[in-house]
């Protein structure tokens, strides 16, 4: 299965308006677009892809205020909680966690985000 490069998407990977950034769903795929196996590995891959998209509008992981996780296996919730504790300082962002029937490219996780971008010179 081939993975479409960001330039070929019919949508923006991330859009900033004012000090808010809205990041499109990022899948648990490697940079070549292959689905990442493993529970923690898949969650981390989705965060990595989301972080890359956020960077396109000048954002960083520390700017995230809300994430939505879409997973094909609801038992990933505890792993996602552990990931949150590992990568986000308190107060942690708000989060929604949803089970879905399937995701593109055989991915098991998709994450979208909203970030509050600080004023940078």
CATH class, range 14-116: alpha beta
Q: 13-39 as b/e, with b when 16 or more CB fall inside 10 Å?
A: bbebeeeebbbbbbbbbeeebebbeeb
Q: What's the pLDDT tens digit per position in 57-110?
A: 999 999 999 999 999 999 999 999 999 999 999 999 999 999 999 999 999 999
Supply the DSSP symbol for 58. Answer: T
CB of 109 within 8 A of CB of 48?
Answer: no
pTM summary value? 0.89
Q: What's the pLDDT tens digit per position in 2-43?
A: 344 445 667 899 999 999 999 999 999 999 999 999 999 999
Q: What is the DSSP letter of 34?
A: P
List the chain domain ranges. Answer: 14-116
Q: Is 94 exposed, middle or buried (0-12, 13-18, 19+ CB in 10 A)?
A: exposed
């Amino acid at each position: 299965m081939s993975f479409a490069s960001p330039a070929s998407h019919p949508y923006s990977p991330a859009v900033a308006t004012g000090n808010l950034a809205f990041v499109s769903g990022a899948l648990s795929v490697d940079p070549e677009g292959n689905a990442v196996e493993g529970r923690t590995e898949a969650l981390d891959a989705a965060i990595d892809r989301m972080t890359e998209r956020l960077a396109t509008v000048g954002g960083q992981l520390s700017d995230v205020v809300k994430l939505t996780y879409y997973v094909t296996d609801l038992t990933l919730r505890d792993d996602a909680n552990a990931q949150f504790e590992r990568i986000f300082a308190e107060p942690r962002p708000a989060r929604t966690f949803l089970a879905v029937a399937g995701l593109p490219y055989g991915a098991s996780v998709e994450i979208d985000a909203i970030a509050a971008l600080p004023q940078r010179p």
